[in-house]
Amino acid sequence: MGPSIIFDKSAIQSLGQQSIYEVSRYFHTVYPPVLLYEILADLALIKDDPDASKKKVAELANKVMPSDSITNIHYQPICIHNLLGIKINMDRRPLVGGAREVISKDGKKGNFIPVQPENEAVLRWRAGEITQADRDFAVRWRQTIQSFDLEGTKKNLPKPPMRIRSLEDLKMFVDNMLAEQDSQIRLLDLFLVYLQCKPYIRDWIHHRWSVNDYVSINEFAPYAFHCLRVQMLFCIGMSHGILGTKPTNAVDVEYLYYTPFAYIFCSGDKLHEQLAPLVLKEDQSFVKRDTMHQALKELVEERKESSQAEPNEQSLIKELWIKHWGRFVPQTTTEPVSAERSKKILEELKPMMEAIQEESNKASPQPRFPV
């Protein structure tokens, strides 16, 4: 397991299968739901040839969910829980749904994560098993994207008194706006509309704000503040012509909502290249798709010469490890485990495995993805 990383669809598409194996070896991949939605939406891409669309989805599905990966919870429920007072850890680890604590007979505690609905869906797509619900979702998703009129939105957005001419100006303006105490409730209400909160949830959020005398959204709900800031950077940047208005940008911006849950964000999208430096913190990295593609390709070639090859001193992979984990740990060599040691490990794990199996038998079936 290595530093956590998020790929957008363009980055995943650019990688060959051997490069995917290297990703699994050196990184812990965090998949935001929007990536899986984009993959499934390809079912509706070739309208006159459903078999070709199904094949395209299967090819993409084969590139996601390597052995060291997991899907993050959707940003909307995370935002709402945060606004209601639930602490959200933004420590570059993914937030996983369905995790439950288990206690073995010998008293040891652990966490059990059942097969995620997203994992089950990807396995189906890999095998070419596409349901009618999958196809219906793909059609709705494509129709929704095509209905986005960001050019019209741009014209209707209010223009601030100052002219914003650069990304640095954009960052300064948005951060100053978010720091204004008199604007906090108004911005909070606008964001609750964006989240499509039900009226009673809005009432609970307002009650929490008022009884605790909050004056800052950032203090009130840090993760929700992160998403609000991303949305404001996008909308205001678009209104001033700094960011583009192609309909897919409304989808692409969602990837940035998940950046608190990974150290590295890799993308080949222009919008991401523009906004990521304004969104990511000092302990995070934005990597261009082609740069990552080249680093993995070089490693794949070296691996052909030696199965024990590791990233060289100039490799981006080693550079990312050192930046985010403080040191590089070789991943191709492992110490052999003796039969005696192997037997002892299995004996120690047996009570926990039994507890997990018991918990698994009690668990209710999860809904299929996508909902």
Interval 287-297: pLDDT, tens = 999 999 999 99
Q: What gap in Å lies between CA 63 and CA 65, rounded to an integer?
A: 7
Q: What gap in Å lies between CA 329 and CA 318, rounded to an integer?
A: 9
CA 320, 321, 326, 330 dihedral sign is: negative
Mean pLDDT of 86-103: 87
**What pLDDT does residue 54 have?**
87
Residue 71 phi, psi (nearest 5) = -95, 135
Compute the chain's Rg from CA coordinates: 23
Least confident of 13-17, 47-51, 133-137: 47-51
**What pLDDT does residue 348 have?**
73
Q: In this structure, what token pair is assigned to residue 51?
A: 């078999």
What is the rounded average pLDDT for all residues in the chain? 89
Give the residue, 315 or 120, on which the prediction is more confident: 315
pLDDT bucket at 313, cuts 50 / 70 / 90? very high
pLDDT bucket at 278, cuts 50 / 70 / 90? very high
**What pLDDT does residue 180 have?**
94
Residue 154: pLDDT over 70 = yes
**What pLDDT does residue 145 have?**
85
DSSP string of 297-362? Answer: HHHHHHHHH-TT----TT-HHHHHHHHHHSS---SS------HHHHHHHHHHHHHHHHHHHHHHHH
DSSP annotation of 162 reads S
Contact by Cβ (8 Å): 243, 235:
no
**What pLDDT does residue 363 have?**
66
Mean pLDDT of 266-282: 97
**What pLDDT does residue 356 have?**
66
Q: What gap in Å lies between CA 178 and CA 190, rounded to an integer?
A: 13
Q: In this structure, what token pair is assigned to residue 234?
A: 């996008």
